[in-house]
Amino acid sequence: MKEIRDRIKEVRTALNLSQTDFAKKIFISQTLLGDIELGNRNVNDRTIQLIASQFAVNKEWLLTGAGAMFGAPPPDMQLENLIDIFKRLDKPLRVCLLEQSKCLLKAQKESPN
């Protein structure tokens, strides 16, 4: 039977996140997350709540394995990563990224597939 540590890793894997990125989003260190996933440390209630709220994970599934992993559609981590990158760019590069995105969208619409 899977333990909570296995389900945490399963969530992280389903979202295609590294330990570092997953840990940042729930405000813990990568070392602590690694220890939790290995079973060297117990997960506390705060971390469980953060995983559930940050990633729309069904808390009951996280605690017991019952039900579906996600209470709602899983968050679009690619979009969140793109937004994070966009926020860190200087204004001229933001404009460039938006123009490139428009060109990609236009090319997609014109593509026969």
What's the pLDDT score for residue 100? 93
Are 68 and 58 contacting, i.e. CB atoms less than 8 angstroms apart?
yes
Q: Side chain identity at 113, as an amino acid letter?
A: N
d(CA 55, CA 70): 8
- pTM metric for this prediction: 0.69
Rg over CA atoms, the chain? 18
Q: What is the pLDDT of residues 55-93, one digit of tens each?
A: 999 999 999 999 999 987 766 777 887 888 999 999 999
Measure the CA–CA gap between 30 and 85, rounded to whole angstroms.
Answer: 21
pLDDT, position 112: 81
Q: What is the pLDDT of residue 84?
A: 87
Q: pLDDT digit string (tens) for 7-60?
A: 999 999 999 999 999 999 999 999 999 999 999 999 999 999 999 999 999 999
Query: Is residue 100 within 8 Å of 107, Cβ to Cβ?
Result: no
Q: Chain centroid to CA 112: how far?
A: 33
Ordered domains of the chain (ranges, CATH):
4-64 (1.10.260.40), 77-110 (no CATH)
